[in-house]
Structure 1
Amino acid sequence: MSQVIEEKIKQIQEKLIQLCRRNAAIEKENSLLKEALEEQKTAAANAQTNMEAMQQQLDIARYGNSEMNPTERKAFEKRINTYLKEIDKCIALLSV
């Protein structure tokens, strides 16, 4: 009877070791995936910043070289007003 109990304990120990190994592997994979996700988030943020900068350059080139129709002029003025509001907010935060 004690041999049966010893066998069961041995089986439980082996399964516990397997679970610990699986857990360690999953934790390592999770860590790697988190790092990859952060890298992708950073890359996406950089791409977004670059896209916005290029869009601004395109707008400047477009509006600087040609006459604007009324719809484009309103959109351009709206964008400029948005930038001015953001600048005013920044100045207000710096003044505090």
Structure 2
Amino acid sequence: MSSLQSNIKRITDKLQRVLKLHQQLQKDNERQTKIIKELQETKEKNTQTIAELQQQADILKASAGQMAAQDKKAFEKHINNYIKEIDKCIGLLSE
């Protein structure tokens, strides 16, 4: 019976090690998921900041008259899109 008991003890010990490893891996997974979420939020903020800075740079170029023809067309397209959005908002508000 002692060999049976030793086998049971050995299996129990291995099972406990596997359970501890599983718990540790779950904690690591949660931590990494949290880090990924934070990094995604930071990326979104940085993307918004880049877009805002690009708009500011375009506005400065336009006001200084230093825009290339292609940049000027793109800038005008953005302005026209903003105007269309404003017109839609005014139309919805007037209903």
Structure 1 spans left out of the alignment, 5+ residues: none
Measured on the aligned residues, the alpha-carbon RMSD in Å equals 2.7
Structure 2 spans left out of the alignment, 5+ residues: none
Cα deviation 1:3-61 (Å, max 9, x = unaligned)? 11111100110001000100011001101101111111111111111111111111111
Amino acid at match of 1:25: Q
Partners of 1:51 and 1:73 in 2: how far apart?
Answer: 19
TM-score (norm 1): 0.80
Alignment of 1:10-89 (within 5 A): 10-66=9-65, 68-87=67-86
Structure 2 CA distance for partners of 1:15 and 1:91, relative to 1, 3 Å: farther
- The residue that corresponds to 2:8 in the other structure is 9
Deviating 4+ runs (over 3 angstroms): 67-70, 82-95
Structure 2 CA distance for partners of 1:41 and 1:69, relative to 1, 3 Å: closer
Partners of 2:87 and 2:4 in 1: how far apart?
Answer: 77
- Larger RCO, structure (CA 8 Å, separation 6 or more): 2
Count, aligned residues: 95
Partners of 1:94 and 1:10 in 2: how far apart?
Answer: 75
Q: Percent identity?
A: 34
